[in-house]
C-alpha cells in the first residue's frame, strides 16, 4: 500500500511546514500558486484516466484496473487537497467564513462517501461470486474431450451466474427471504423444484448483509451532490475552491464506483451532476462522466443489477454465448464449433484471471480510501478542536 | 479371497492384482499427511492402474463390454438416486450402506473415466462414447452431492451457545448525565458485571454442525475434490456457513447501521448498541474458533482452500462489526462516551491474539490488519475523550451560585467518573503512555516517591490529579458567585470534603496517595475554620466582656447576640452540608463555642440582664444549632415575637 506509506511522512511535512509558517504575510501568494498547481494536477490526473478509458484491450473505462487507477488518483488528490487546506493556515480560519460552512458540508459528504465505500466494498464480494461461477464454467469447458457432463456442469454454473446478473433492482430481498424460508423449511426435508431453485439462488445470491435497511447508494450520491455549488466571484480563489474541487472528485469517484459495482439500491442513480463546464480542471471529469452516463443509460434499459464493471459485462456477454453453445450441444461435438467455443472460453478464463488478480486489491484500495477519509476528517476536526480551545481559553 | 483366486483364470487373477494395487493406492491416498507431489503421483498411478483394468479386459477380447457393464452398474445407481427425490444423507432415513454405495459408484465411474482418458484420445468411437457417458453421470452425481452438502449443513446446523455469556448490562447506565446533573454513584454490581464479561480463559469450541455428520461431509468433500469439483463444494459450503454466521449476528441482535446513522444516533441508543457490540465481539470470536474447527475438520486436507473458505465465511460479518467500531471511533469526544469506548477498545485488545491466530494465513491478512487498525482508532478516540475531560470541566461555567452551598453535581460527576475509570486503569495507562511518547510536555513528573505505591505515579494517577486540580479551580470560580462570603467556605468545604471522601473510599486512594489526601483534608478543614471564624466570631463578639459593665450594656449585648444568632439561624438552616459527620462536626464545634460563651456570659451577667432580653436558653441554642445546614430555611419563632 504505497499511498499509506507515503502518508506518514507527508503529514509530518505538513505539520512541520505549518509550524514554520505561522501567519506569514507573503503566504497568500504561495497559496494561490499551490492552488494553481493543485488544479493542474487534478486536470492531468483525470486526463490520464480519460485516455486510459479508451483502452480496448479490457483495461478501459470502468475496468478493474481503471477503477484502481481512479482510486489512486483520488488518494493523490486528497493528499494534495489536505495540504492546501491545512498548510500554513491558522486553524481559526476554518471556523470562519467561507470555510465554517464549507468544511462541515464537506464532512457531511465525506461521511456519506464512507458508507458508499462500505457498500461497494461489500458488493465486490458479489462480483467475486460472478468470478467463481465463471471459473467453474471455464474449468469444465477447458476439458478435453468435451462431453455432456462438462457442458452440463458449465451450464449449471452459468445459469446461476445469469440469475445473479439478472437480478433486478430491489429483488435482493426476495432472494434473501427465499433463502431464509429454505433454511427453515428444509427441516421437513421436502424437495420441490421450487426449493431447488431457491437453493441454487441462495447459494449464489448476492450477499444480503450489507447496509441498514432503507439505505440507498443512489440517494447517498444524490445527497452528496445536492449542495455542490462552484464558488463564485471573490470566493473562487479562496480556500473555497479546493474544497469544491475535492468535493467534486469525491462525488465523481463514489458515483463511478456505484455505477460499476452492484451495491445496495441504485434505483434512480443520477446520470448527471452539475460540474461547471468553464472550469479547466474539470474537463476530463466531465468527459468521463458523460461516457459513464451513456453506459449507464444503455444498461438501465435492461434494468439489471450487475453493474458496469468491464469484467462483469464481459463475463455476461461470454456467459450468454456459452449458454447458447451449451443449449445446442450434442455429443459428439462439432470440431469447428469447439474451436470457436475455445476462443470464448479462453477469453472468459483471461477475464477470471484478471478478476482474481484485481478484485481483492481493489477491495483493499477501497478500504484504504475509507481509512484515508476517516483520518483526514479526524485531523481537521482535531485542528478545529484546538482552535476552539485557544479561543475558549482567551475568553 | 485367496480361495477364489485359485479358481480364476490367470487373466482374471491379473485383474484382481490390479484391483488390489488400486486398493493400496487408494489407502495410501487417504493419508492426510501426504504432500502434493506424492498425492499427484498416486493419482497418476491410480489412473494407470485403471487404464490397465480397461486394457486387460479389452485384450481379453471382450472389447469395452466389461467397461460398459461396470459403467452401466454405476450409472443405474446414480440415475436411480437422481429420480428419487429424497436425500441420501437425510438423517431420518439415512442408510449408511446406501450412501456408501453411492459414493462407491462415483468412485467406480471416476476410475473408469481415468482409465478411458488415459487411452489414446484418438481411440475409437466406443471409447469416446463411454467416456461421455461416464462424465455425464459424474456430473449428475456431483450436482446431487452439492444439494446434499447444503442439506446436511442446514439441517444439522447447531446454534452456538457460549458459556457464561448471558445478555448482561442491557440496562442503560446510571452514572451518566449530559449536563453533569444527578449523578449517582456507580453500583458495585456494574463492577462485578464488568469483570464477568471478560474473555473466557479457556478455549471453548462448540460443534456448529452436529459431529455425527462431519464424516459424511468429509467423505463428500473427498469425492468432490477428487474429481475436481472442489469449486462447487466450496461455494456450497461457504454460502451456507456464511449465512449461518449472518443469522447468528441477527440472533445476537447486532443491527446494521451506516456510519451516518451511528454519527447521528442519540447517546442513549448508541450506548445500548455499543454494549451489544461488545458482547457480540466477544462471542463472535469464540464462534469463529468453532467455525475454524469446522473448516479444519472438513477442508483440513486441502491446503490453502481451507483458510480461504474460512475467510470468505467470516469476512462479511466481521466487516460489519469493524465498521460499527470505526464509526464509534469517528464520533465526537464527549466524556460520557469514554467508558463505552474503553469497553470497545478492551474487547478488541483482549481478542486480538485470537484474531491474529484465526487469520494468520495470507488469506486473512486484510481482516487481521483491519482489527489492528480498529484498535488504533478506538485507542486514539479513547485517549482524546479522556484528555477532553479536563477541558469539559474547565469549560463548565455557571452563572448562578449553587443553592445551599452543597456538593455540586460537577464534583460528583467528576469524582464518580474517575472512580469508575480506575477499572480501566491498565488500558488507560497504555493509551496515555503512547501519547506521552509523542508529547514534549508530559503531565507525569519525575518519579520521586520512595516507597510510595507505583500506582500513585502512573500516567493515569497524574492525569487524575490534574483533573481534580482543574475541578478545584472551577469550584473556586463557582464559589465566587456567592454573595455571602461565608457560604463560599461552606461550598468549598463540602466539595473538597466530598472529593477526599471519594478518594479515601476505594481504589482511588492508591492513585491519589496519602500526600494528596492529607493536603485536601487540610484544605476542607481550613474552609471549615474560616467558616467558623467568619460566622461565629462576630456573633460571639457581643458576649465579649466589655469595659462598661452594667444592666444596659449586658442587655444590649444579649439583644445583639440574639439578633445575630437568629440571623445566622435564618441563613444557615437553608445551607446544606450533606455529609452527616461533617455537619455534626461543625455543629458540635459551633455549639461548644457558642454555648460555652453564652453560658459563661450569662453566669457572669445574669443579674444584670433583664429577663425580657433572654429569649433562648443555652439548651435552646444547642437545639437550634442542630437545625443548621439541613438545607431547609427556617425562622426562629422568637424573632417573630415582638
Using CB atoms and an 8 Å cut-off, which of residues 322-341 of chain A contact chain B? 331-332
Roughly what angle, to the nearest 10 degrees, separates helices B96-118 and B65-83?
A: 140
User: Given A148, A153, A215, which is nearest B258 (Cβ)?
Assistant: A215
User: Given B154, B235, B256, which is nearest A212 (Cβ)?
Assistant: B256
Using CB atoms and an 8 Å cut-off, which of residues 63-122 of chain B contact chain A? 85-87, 90, 92, 121
- Residue from B124, B209, B239 to probe the interface with A (highest A Cβ count within 10 Å): B239
Roughly what angle, to the nearest 10 degrees, separates helices A240-260 and A283-302?
A: 30
Residues of A in contact with B236 (CB under 8 A): 203
- Give Cβ neighbours of residue B122 (< 8 Å, ≥ 6 apart): none
Residue B23: enclosing H or E segment and its boundaries? helix B10-29
Measured between alpha carbons, how far is B575 from B73 in angstroms, rounded to an integer?
A: 102
Q: Is B250 at the interface with chain A, CB within 8 A?
A: no
Omega before residue B18 within 30° of 0, cis: no
Measured between alpha carbons, how far is A95 from A104 in angstroms, rounded to an integer?
A: 10
User: Given B85, B131, B257, which is nearest A147 (Cβ)?
Assistant: B131
- Decide: B165 and B283 in contact? Cβ < 8 Å: yes
Q: Do A371 and B323 touch (CB under 8 A)?
A: no
Q: Is the pLDDT assigned to residue B132 strictly greater than 70? A: yes
Q: Do A203 and B121 touch (CB under 8 A)?
A: no
Q: Is B404 left (phi over 0), alpha (psi -120 to 50) or beta?
A: left
Q: Is the dihedral of CA A114, A120, A122, A124 positive or negative?
A: negative
Gyration radius of chain A's alpha carbons:
25
For B608-635, the pLDDT digits (tens) are 777 777 888 889 999 999 999 998 888 8
- Our measurement of the distance from residue B22's CA atom to the centroid of its chain's CA atoms, rounded to an integer in Å, reads 56
Residues of B in contact with A157 (CB under 8 A): 232
Using CB atoms and an 8 Å cut-off, which of residues 134-153 of chain A contact chain B? 135-136, 139, 144-145, 147-150, 152-153
Measured between alpha carbons, how far is A47 from A66 in angstroms, rounded to an integer?
A: 13
Residues of A in contact with B86 (CB under 8 A): 189, 191
Measured between alpha carbons, how far is B142 from A137 in angstroms, rounded to an integer?
A: 14
Would you state the cell numbers that stand for residue B226, as one nine-digit string? 477428487
Residue B413 backbone dihedrals phi, psi, to 5 degrees: -60, -50
- Decide: A228 and A274 in contact? Cβ < 8 Å: yes
Residues of B in contact with A332 (CB under 8 A): 125, 128-129, 132
Would you state the cell numbers that stand for residue A216, as one nine-digit string? 440507498
Q: Do B135 and A147 touch (CB under 8 A)?
A: yes
Question: Within a 10 A sphere around the Cβ of B73, how many other Cβ atoms?
Answer: 12
- Decide: B572 and B626 in contact? Cβ < 8 Å: no
Using CB atoms and an 8 Å cut-off, which of residues 106-125 of chain A contact chain B? 111-112, 114-115, 118, 121-122, 125
For B167-200, the pLDDT digits (tens) are 444 333 334 343 443 344 444 444 444 544 444 4
Q: How far is CA B387 from CA A395, B145, B267, B287, B411, in A?
A: 21, 60, 20, 36, 17
Q: Is the dihedral of CA A40, A46, A51, A57 positive or negative?
A: positive
What ipTM does this complex have?
0.85
Maximal C-alpha separation, chain B = 154
User: Given A112, A187, A204, which is nearest B155 (Cβ)?
Assistant: A187
Q: Do A153 and B139 touch (CB under 8 A)?
A: yes
User: Given B138, B260, B323, which is nearest A112 (Cβ)?
Assistant: B260
Omega before residue A282 within 30° of 0, cis: no
- Decide: B191 and B507 in contact? Cβ < 8 Å: no
Measured between alpha carbons, how far is B627 from B635 in angstroms, rounded to an integer?
A: 11
Using CB atoms and an 8 Å cut-off, which of residues 213-252 of chain A contact chain B? 213, 215
Q: Do B316 and A207 touch (CB under 8 A)?
A: yes
Measured between alpha carbons, how far is B19 from A7 in angstroms, rounded to an integer?
A: 65
Residues of B in contact with A112 (CB under 8 A): 260
Q: Is the pLDDT assigned to residue B486 strictly greater than 90? A: yes
Task: Tell me which residue has cell 466531465.
Answer: A286
User: What's the pLDDT score for residue B54?
Assistant: 62
- Residue from B138, B142, B235, B304 to probe the interface with A (highest A Cβ count within 10 Å): B235
Residue-wise DSSP of B396-460: ---SSPPGGG---HHHHHHHHHHHHHGGGHHHHHHHHHHHHHH-SS-S------TTS-GGGGSHH
For B115-129, the pLDDT digits (tens) are 888 776 555 678 888
Q: Do A149 and B132 touch (CB under 8 A)?
A: yes
Q: Do A136 and B258 touch (CB under 8 A)?
A: no
Q: Do B239 and A145 touch (CB under 8 A)?
A: no
Q: Which residue of A has its CA nearest to B245?
A: A209
Measured between alpha carbons, how far is A357 from A361 in angstroms, rounded to an integer?
A: 8
Gyration radius of chain B's alpha carbons:
42
Measured between alpha carbons, how far is A163 from A172 in angstroms, rounded to an integer?
A: 11
Question: Within a 10 A sphere around the Cβ of B80, how many other Cβ atoms?
Answer: 11
Average per-residue pLDDT for chain B: 83
Measured between alpha carbons, how far is B470 from B473 in angstroms, rounded to an integer?
A: 5
Q: Is the dihedral of CA A131, A137, A139, A142 positive or negative?
A: negative
Q: Which of B563, B548, B540, B552 is nearest to B615 (CA)?
A: B563
Q: Is the dihedral of CA A379, A385, A387, A389 positive or negative?
A: negative
Measured between alpha carbons, how far is A271 from A268 in angstroms, rounded to an integer?
A: 9
Beta bridge mates, B209: B157
Q: Is A190 left (phi over 0), alpha (psi -120 to 50) or beta?
A: beta
Q: Is A378 at the interface with chain B, CB within 8 A?
A: yes
By three-state DSSP, how is residue B210 classified? coil
Q: Looking at residues B243-270, what average pLDDT do you find?
A: 93
Residues of A in contact with B246 (CB under 8 A): 208-209
Residues of B in contact with A367 (CB under 8 A): 366, 370
Q: Comparing B383 with A202, which gets the higher pLDDT? A: B383
Q: Which residue of B has its CA nearest to A156?
A: B143
Q: Which of B221, B229, B242 is nearest to A202 (CA)?
A: B242
**A34 CA: distance to closest CA in chain B (Å):** 30
User: Given A139, A156, A211, which is nearest B258 (Cβ)?
Assistant: A211
For B546-584, the pLDDT digits (tens) are 555 555 677 888 888 999 999 999 999 999 999 999 999
Q: Which residue of B has its CA nearest to A147?
A: B132
User: Given B121, B147, B256, which is nearest A211 (Cβ)?
Assistant: B256
Measured between alpha carbons, how far is A73 from A70 in angstroms, rounded to an integer?
A: 5
Would you state the cell numbers that stand for residue A286, as one nine-digit string? 466531465
- Residue from A19, A128, A187, A203 to probe the interface with B (highest B Cβ count within 10 Å): A203
Q: How far is CA A4 from CA A81, A108, A369, B131, in A?
A: 16, 24, 10, 55
Measured between alpha carbons, how far is A107 from A374 in angstroms, rounded to an integer?
A: 10
Q: Looking at residues B437-461, what average pLDDT do you find?
A: 62
Q: Do B330 and A213 touch (CB under 8 A)?
A: no
User: What's the pLDDT score for residue B120?
Assistant: 61
Q: Which of A234, A174, A239, A164 is nearest to A204 (CA)?
A: A164
Q: Do B260 and A111 touch (CB under 8 A)?
A: yes
User: What's the pLDDT score for residue B441?
Assistant: 55
User: What's the pLDDT score for residue B553?
Assistant: 76
Measured between alpha carbons, how far is A306 from A130 in angstroms, rounded to an integer?
A: 9
Q: Is B395 at the interface with chain A, CB within 8 A?
A: yes
Q: What is the pLDDT along chain A (395 residues), one digit of tens a residue?
A: 344 444 444 444 444 444 444 444 456 788 888 889 999 999 999 999 999 998 888 789 999 999 999 999 999 999 999 998 887 777 788 888 888 889 999 999 999 999 999 999 999 998 999 999 999 999 999 998 899 999 999 999 999 999 888 775 544 443 433 333 333 333 333 333 444 444 444 444 444 546 777 888 989 999 999 888 888 876 666 788 999 999 999 999 999 999 999 888 887 787 777 787 888 899 999 999 999 998 888 877 665 667 899 999 999 999 999 999 999 998 888 888 999 999 999 999 999 999 999 999 999 999 999 999 999 999 999 888 876 554 443 33
Give me the residue spans of the domains in chain B: 2-154, 534-625
Using CB atoms and an 8 Å cut-off, which of residues 344-373 of chain A contact chain B? 360, 363-364, 367, 370-371
User: What's the pLDDT score for residue A318?
Assistant: 95
DSSP B336: G
Chains A, B: CB contacts within 8 A come to 132
Q: Do B136 and A374 touch (CB under 8 A)?
A: no
- Residue from A189, A349, A395 to probe the interface with B (highest B Cβ count within 10 Å): A189
User: What's the pLDDT score for residue A41?
Assistant: 96
First to last CA, chain A: 45
Measured between alpha carbons, how far is B434 from B428 in angstroms, rounded to an integer?
A: 10
Measured between alpha carbons, how far is B112 from B59 in angstroms, rounded to an integer?
A: 16
Measured between alpha carbons, how far is B496 from B480 in angstroms, rounded to an integer?
A: 15
**B155 CA: distance to closest CA in chain A (Å):** 6
- Give Cβ neighbours of residue B542 (< 8 Å, ≥ 6 apart): B557, B558, B560, B561, B564
Task: Tell me which residue has cell 433572654.
Answer: B614
Q: Which residue of A has its CA nearest to B92?
A: A189
Amino acid at each position: 500500500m504505497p499511498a499509506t506509506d507515503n502518508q506518514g511522512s507527508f503529514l509530518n511535512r505538513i505539520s512541520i511546514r505549518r509550524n514554520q509558517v505561522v501567519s506569514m504575510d507573503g503566504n497568500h501568494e504561495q497559496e494561490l500558486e499551490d492552488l494553481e498547481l493543485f488544479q493542474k494536477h487534478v486536470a492531468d490526473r483525470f486526463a490520464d484516466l480519460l485516455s486510459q478509458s479508451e483502452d480496448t484491450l479490457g483495461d478501459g473505462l470502468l475496468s478493474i484496473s481503471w477503477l484502481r487507477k481512479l482510486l489512486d488518483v483520488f488518494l493523490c488528490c486528497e493528499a494534495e487537497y489536505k495540504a492546501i487546506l491545512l498548510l500554513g493556515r491558522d486553524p481559526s480560519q476554518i471556523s470562519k467564513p467561507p470555510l465554517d460552512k464549507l468544511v462541515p458540508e464537506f464532512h457531511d459528504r465525506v461521511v456519506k462517501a464512507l458508507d458508499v465505500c462500505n457498500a461497494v466494498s461489500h458488493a465486490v464480494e458479489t462480483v467475486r461470486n460472478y468470478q467463481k461461477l465463471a471459473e467453474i464454467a471455464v474449468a469444465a469447458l477447458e476439458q478435453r474431450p468435451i462431453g455432456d457432463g462438462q457442458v452440463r456442469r458449465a451450464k449449471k454454473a452459468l445459469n446461476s451466474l445469469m440469475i445473479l446478473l439478472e437480478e433486478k433492482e430491489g429483488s435482493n430481498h426476495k432472494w434473501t427471504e427465499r433463502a431464509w424460508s429454505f433454511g427453515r423449511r428444509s427441516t421437513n426435508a421436502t424437495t420441490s423444484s421450487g426449493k431447488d431453485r431457491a437453493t441454487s439462488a441462495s447459494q449464489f445470491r448476492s450477499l444480503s448483509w450489507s447496509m441498514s435497511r432503507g439505505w440507498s447508494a443512489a440517494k447517498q450520491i444524490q445527497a452528496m451532490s445536492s449542495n455542490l455549488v462552484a464558488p463564485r466571484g471573490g470566493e473562487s480563489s479562496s480556500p473555497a475552491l479546493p474544497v469544491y474541487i475535492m468535493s467534486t472528485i469525491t462525488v465523481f469517484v463514489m458515483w463511478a464506483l456505484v455505477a460499476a459495482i452492484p451495491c445496495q439500491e441504485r434505483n434512480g442513480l443520477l446520470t448527471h451532476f452539475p460540474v461547471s463546464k468553464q472550469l479547466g480542471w474539470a474537463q476530463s471529469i466531465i468527459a468521463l462522466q458523460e461516457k459513464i452516463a451513456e453506459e449507464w443509460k444503455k444498461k438501465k434499459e435492461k434494468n439489471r443489477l450487475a453493474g458496469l464493471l468491464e469484467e462483469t459485462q464481459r463475463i455476461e456477454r461470454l456467459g450468454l454465448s456459452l449458454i447458447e453453445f451449451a443449449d445446442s450441444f450434442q455429443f459428439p461435438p462439432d470440431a469447428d464449433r469447439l474451436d470457436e467455443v475455445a476462443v470464448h472460453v479462453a477469453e472468459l478464463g483471461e477475464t477470471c484471471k484478471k478478476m482474481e488478480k484485481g478484485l481483492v486489491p481493489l477491495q483493499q484500495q477501497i478500504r484504504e480510501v475509507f481509512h484515508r477519509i476517516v483520518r483526514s476528517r479526524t485531523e481537521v476536526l482535531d485542528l478545529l478542536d484546538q482552535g476552539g480551545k485557544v479561543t475558549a481559553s482567551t475568553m | 479371497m485367496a480361495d477364489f483366486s485359485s479358481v480364476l483364470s490367470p487373466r482374471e487373477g491379473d485383474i484382481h492384482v490390479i484391483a488390489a494395487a488400486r486398493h493400496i493406492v487408494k489407502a495410501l491416498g487417504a493419508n492426510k499427511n501426504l504432500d502434493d507431489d506424492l498425492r499427484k503421483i498416486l493419482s497418476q498411478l491410480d489412473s494407470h492402474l485403471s487404464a490397465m483394468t480397461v486394457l486387460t479386459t479389452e485384450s481379453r477380447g471382450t472389447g469395452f463390454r466389461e467397461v460398459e457393464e461396470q459403467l452401466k452398474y454405476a450409472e443405474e445407481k446414480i440415475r436411480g438416486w437422481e429420480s428419487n427425490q429424497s436425500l441420501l444423507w437425510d438423517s431420518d432415513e439415512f442408510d449408511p450402506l446406501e450412501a456408501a454405495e453411492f459414493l462407491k459408484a462415483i468412485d467406480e465411474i471416476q476410475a473408469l473415466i481415468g482409465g478411458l482418458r488415459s487411452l489414446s484420445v484418438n481411440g475409437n468411437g466406443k471409447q469416446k462414447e463411454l467416456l461421455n457417458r461416464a462424465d455425464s453421470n459424474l456430473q449428475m452425481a456431483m450436482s446431487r452431492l452439492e444439494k446434499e452438502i447444503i442439506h446436511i449443513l442446514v439441517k444439522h446446523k447447531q446454534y452456538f451457545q457460549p458459556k457464561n455469556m448471558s445478555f448482561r448490562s442491557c440496562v442503560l447506565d446510571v452514572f451518566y448525565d449530559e449536563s453533569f446533573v444527578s449523578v449517582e454513584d456507580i453500583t458495585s454490581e456494574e463492577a462485578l458485571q464488568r469483570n464477568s464479561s471478560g474473555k473466557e480463559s479457556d478455549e471453548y469450541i462448540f460443534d456448529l454442525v452436529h459431529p455425527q455428520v462431519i464424516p459424511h461431509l468429509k467423505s463428500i468433500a473427498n469425492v468432490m475434490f477428487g474429481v475436481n469439483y472442489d469449486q462447487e463444494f466450496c461455494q456450497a459450503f461457504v454460502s451456507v456457513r456464511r449465512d449461518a454466521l449472518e443469522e447468528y449476528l441477527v440472533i445476537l441482535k447486532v443491527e446494521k447501521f451506516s456510519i451516518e446513522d451511528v454519527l447521528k444516533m442519540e447517546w442513549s441508543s448508541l450506548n445500548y448498541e455499543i454494549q451489544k457490540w461488545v458482547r457480540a465481539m466477544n462471542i463472535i470470536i469464540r464462534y469463529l474458533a468453532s467455525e475454524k474447527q469446522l473448516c479444519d475438520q472438513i477442508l483440513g486436507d486441502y491446503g490453502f482452500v481451507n483458510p480461504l473458505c474460512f475467510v470468505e465465511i467470516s469476512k462479511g460479518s466481521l466487516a460489519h462489526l469493524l465498521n460499527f467500531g470505526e464509526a464509534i471511533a469517528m464520533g465526537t469526544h464527549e466524556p460520557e462516551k469514554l467508558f463505552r469506548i474503553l469497553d470497545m477498545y478492551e474487547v478488541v485488545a483482549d481478542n486480538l491474539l485470537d484474531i491474529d491466530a484465526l487469520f494468520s494465513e495470507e488469506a486473512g491478512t486484510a481482516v487481521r490488519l483491519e482489527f489492528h487498525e480498529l484498535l488504533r482508532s478506538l485507542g486514539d478516540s479513547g485517549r482524546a475523550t479522556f484528555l477532553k475531560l479536563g477541558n469539559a470541566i474547565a469549560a463548565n461555567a455557571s452563572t448562578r451560585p449553587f443553592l445551599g452551598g452543597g456538593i455540586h453535581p460537577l464534583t460528583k460527576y467528576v469524582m464518580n467518573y474517575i472512580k469508575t475509570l480506575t477499572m480501566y486503569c491498565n488500558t488507560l495507562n497504555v493509551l496515555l503512555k503512547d501519547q506521552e511518547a509523542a508529547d514534549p510536555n508530559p503531565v507525569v513528573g519525575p518519579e520521586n516517591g520512595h516507597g510510595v505505591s507505583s500506582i500513585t505515579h502512573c500516567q493515569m494517577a497524574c492525569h487524575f490529579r490534574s483533573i481534580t486540580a482543574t475541578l478545584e479551580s472551577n469550584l473556586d470560580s463557582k464559589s465566587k458567585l456567592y454573595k455571602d462570603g461565608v457560604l463560599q467556605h461552606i461550598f468549598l468545604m463540602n466539595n473538597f470534603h466530598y472529593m477526599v471522601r471519594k478518594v479515601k473510599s476505594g481504589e482511588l486512594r492508591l492513585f491519589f496517595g496519602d500526600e494528596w489526601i492529607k493536603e485536601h483534608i487540610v484544605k476542607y478543614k481550613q474552609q471549615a475554620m474560616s467558616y467558623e471564624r467568619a460566622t461565629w466570631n462576630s456573633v460571639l463578639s457581643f458576649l465579649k466582656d466589655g469595659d462598661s459593665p452594667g444592666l444596659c450594656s449586658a442587655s444590649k449585648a444579649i439583644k445583639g447576640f440574639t439578633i445575630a444568632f437568629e440571623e445566622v439561624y435564618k441563613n444557615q438552616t437553608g445551607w446544606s452540608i450533606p455529609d452527616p459527620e461533617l455537619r455534626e462536626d461543625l455543629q458540635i464545634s459551633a455549639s461548644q463555642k457558642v454555648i460555652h460563651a453564652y453560658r459563661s456570659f450569662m453566669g457572669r451577667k445574669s443579674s444584670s440582664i433583664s429577663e425580657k432580653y433572654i429569649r433562648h436558653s443555652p439548651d435552646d441554642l444547642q437545639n437550634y444549632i442542630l437545625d443548621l445546614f439541613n438545607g431547609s430555611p427556617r425562622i426562629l419563632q422568637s424573632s417573630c415575637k415582638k
